[in-house]
Amino acid sequence: MRSASTWVACRALVLLAALLAVGETHAANSNCVGSCANAGTFLRASQVQRIIAQAVAEAQARNRRATIAVVDRVGNVLAVFQMNGARAFARITSGRFNRRLPQFPDAGLEEIQLPIAGAPPGVPSSFAAIAKAITAAYLSSEGNAFGSRTANQIVQEFFNPGERGQPSGPLFGVQFSQLPCGDLVQQGEAVGIGPRRSPLGLSADPGGLTLYLRGTPVGGIGVIADGIYGVDANIVDVDQSVDELIALAGTAGFEAPENRRADRIAVGGLLLRYSDAVTGDLLSDPGSAPAFSSIDGRLGTLVAASGFYPTPPVVRRGTAFGQRASGIIPADQVRPPLFGRGLDAFVLADSTGANRFPPIAGAPNDGQRLTASEVRTLLREGIEVANSARANIRQPNGSQVRVTLSVVDVNGTILGVARTRDAPVFGIDVSLQKARAAAFFSSPDAAASLSGTNNPLFAGALRGYVRDTQAFVDPPFRGRVFEDGVAYSNRAIGNLARPYFPDGIESGPTGPLSKPGVSSGPRQGIFRIGVNEWSPFNVGIQLDLVAPDVIGSLLVAPNTVRDCGTSNAPSIALGRLANGIQIFPGSVPIFKSGVLVGALGISGDGVDQDDMVAFLGVNNASVALRGRIRNAPRGRRADRVRITQGGSQTLRLRYVQCPVAPFIGSDVQTPCKGK
């Protein structure tokens, strides 16, 4: 038998060899740090055709039949090409289950079969390819290139996947963002402002890669040829993913800069993964790929994707990021300017260039409300914190934090949205999910709202989450969770929404807002369907809140669902959780005279950076406003909630966790301490 040290050493060598191999693509390096995007950096229709032709040539060389999607940076679908003989549907599976699964909704999206006459299990392949392409486009920036394989690494129950006993991925739950039923993401088949919705949220299935022009991301390519929309549970080896190899061929001439790729970025001491595919493994020469005109109609055709890509389908040009057509523009270009000149910030704009979410006043709660001026101050102070802080997931080292900020009131109404330069697009929707989660779960009517749904498929499940959480904690909070006015940050909510509690400790119980993990054993009550119930496609309350409307959005054409809580009405509709919730850190509730008035959500960088920008954003706004608004009173924060395990070990929830020495050009070590 090998010793433990020998096994660890061998495993480290395998991983090192894999990472070295992944670096063999030799794409050009980039000097862009957030300002390279301009009116000329977008995908032309001829370039989209070239990308597809290159991918088709590799699929042909491998005798595989693929569905290929190309999107721009804000998610507009520019083309979907399906080769002759390609599977029309892709099966959703994590590969974790060794027995027959129960019917929806108990298995989440695992092995889902849409109620379409004659359709096999799964979803349209066009939707799977679009989701992969959007994932790569949305997670990337001039400072980082992430693909769907990167997403796979950071959303599973252990980080790294397969390393049992480790905490969950840093972006655990991000796959359920950009949802097709969300109220912030844009709908429709025409090219327009973003961010656009994704048919399946973000994808953890390898085969989505980012497209770059002159150092700036201009979109993504997504490929599905193997018929499986899944995950990679073992990232130590180097896969020969046919989806990823075909996508890699498509990126030729549009490759991610080598010094910006995920495998140049470490999170928690672990290098991220961008792609296992390398150019040396290609069976075709992308530079010799035939013209698109010679394959269109012969090797395959453009195909419509209802709600995302029109009939008749045509190859389209993308939008230029940072320009009016993209829906994301500098804050000083709207009228009136959001902050005035001098603050490097961006906003979401409509097609006329007007701010989609200018600061507005919130709804009153017990006589208190956020004013429009206070919302503007919150956004400004948060951006100033981000612009002065050191990023965690960007190159070069020492880059500024790049995030999106969203402010909501107690009803989840959007009061204002702003962004820093070159922040990844995924953070727009996610920052709103985080803000809404903090406002909702901090409200004393949250338990009643969750228990009050009349949806027969999910009423029992949502009541079960409340019941289990109220029984999970120690007195004096036992029996009163989500109705006692305790302030919940997204970090605290996430603590309760992991398959193991504490996070990664398999001997512990299941988090009460999660489905149980592989080692949790049978669970009594509504969730008793056996072991190994949790998967990236079946996480718990996060999916159960939105699953009916996610599925409904895939079936209705043209889609009109603009609220992911509609089917769980009447209790949680009307915007409170209209784009779902997020369960990784980066939001805090906001108080005024001791009364909950809203929340601030942040997303786009490392989770500790997101936490810090939210917490210090509110703190610094409080200072600027002479105490009119504040972070939650210390005695009401969720880190007062205790959980005793096994009659001995007592743990507390976490409220926020800020990085050490986070600022550029400052020696401040613990900026959140004592606040």
Residues 87 and 230 in one domain: yes
Does residue 11 lie within any of the structural domains? Answer: no
Confidence check: pLDDT of 111 > 90: no
CATH number of domain containing 614 = 3.30.450.150
Q: Are residues 497 and 375 in the same domain?
A: no
Is 167 within the bounds of a domain? yes
- Shared domain check, 268 and 154: yes
Distance separating alpha carbons of residues 564 and 550, to the nearest angstrom: 7
Residue 612 pLDDT grade (very low, low, confident, very high; cuts 50, 70, 90)? very high
Cβ contact 70:220 at 8 Å: yes
Q: Would you say residue 565 has pLDDT above 90?
A: no
Q: Measuring CA to CA, how many Å separate 620 from each of 132, 594, 639?
A: 38, 17, 21
Residue 66 lies in a domain: yes
Domain count for the chain, please give it.
3
User: Among 493-497, 559-563, 649-653, where is mean pLDDT lowest?
Assistant: 559-563
Residue 16 above 50 pLDDT? no
Please report whether residue 37 resides in a domain. Answer: yes
Residue 142 shares a structural domain with residue 276:
yes
- Backbone phi, psi, residue 510, to 5°: -75, 140
The whole-number pLDDT of residue 21 equals 40
Nearest Cα to Cα of residue 181 among 568, 615, 534, 523: 568
pTM score, whole prediction: 0.94
Give the residue numbers spanning the domain of 81: 19-302
Asked whether residue 670 is assigned to any structural domain, the reply reads no
d(C-alpha 331, C-alpha 119), whole Å: 47
Boundary-marking domain end, from 503, 537, 568? 568
Residues 265-291 pLDDT 10s: 999 999 999 999 999 999 999 999 999
**Could you give the C-alpha distances from 581 to 121, 144, 392, 460, 489, in angstroms and in order?**
27, 25, 23, 19, 12
Single out the residue in 568, 593, 611 at which a domain terminates.
568
Give the separation between CA 79 and CA 207, rounded to whole angstroms. Answer: 16
- Residues above pLDDT 70, as percent of the chain: 91
Give 6's pLDDT tier (boundaries 50, 70, 90): very low
What's the pLDDT score for residue 573? 59
Q: Tell whether 618 and 473 lie within a shared domain.
A: no
Q: What is the pLDDT of residue 269?
A: 92
Residues 197 and 237 grouped into a single domain: yes
pLDDT exceeding 90 applies to what percent of the chain?
A: 80
Same domain, 535 and 453: yes
Tell me, yes or no, whether 532 and 488 share the same domain: yes
- In the predicted model, what is the mean pLDDT of residues 216-240? 95
Tokens 């046919």, located at residue: 242
Q: Can you tell me the mean pLDDT for 407-412? A: 97
Q: Is residue 312 part of a domain?
A: no
Residues 244, 287 within the same domain: yes
pLDDT band at 23 (very low <50, low <70, confident <90, very high): very low
DSSP calls for 288-314: GPPPHHHHBTTTEEE--BTTTB-SS--
- List the Cα angle 475/478/480 in 5-degree steps: 125
Residue 24 and residue 146 share a domain: yes
Residue-level pLDDT at 22: 39
Q: What is the pLDDT of residue 118?
A: 82
Question: Residue 630 falls within a domain, yes or no?
Answer: yes
pLDDT in tens, 426-444: 999 999 999 999 999 999 9
Task: Give the Cα separation of 494 and 491 in Å (integer).
Answer: 5
Please tell me whether residues 148 and 27 are part of one structural domain.
Answer: yes
Last residue of a domain, one of 505, 536, 568: 568
Burial of 665 (0-12, 13-18, 19+ CB in 10 A): exposed
Residues 516-536 have a mean pLDDT of 55
284 assigned to some structural domain: yes
- Check whether residue 296 and residue 175 sit in a common domain: yes
d(CA 152, CA 172): 10
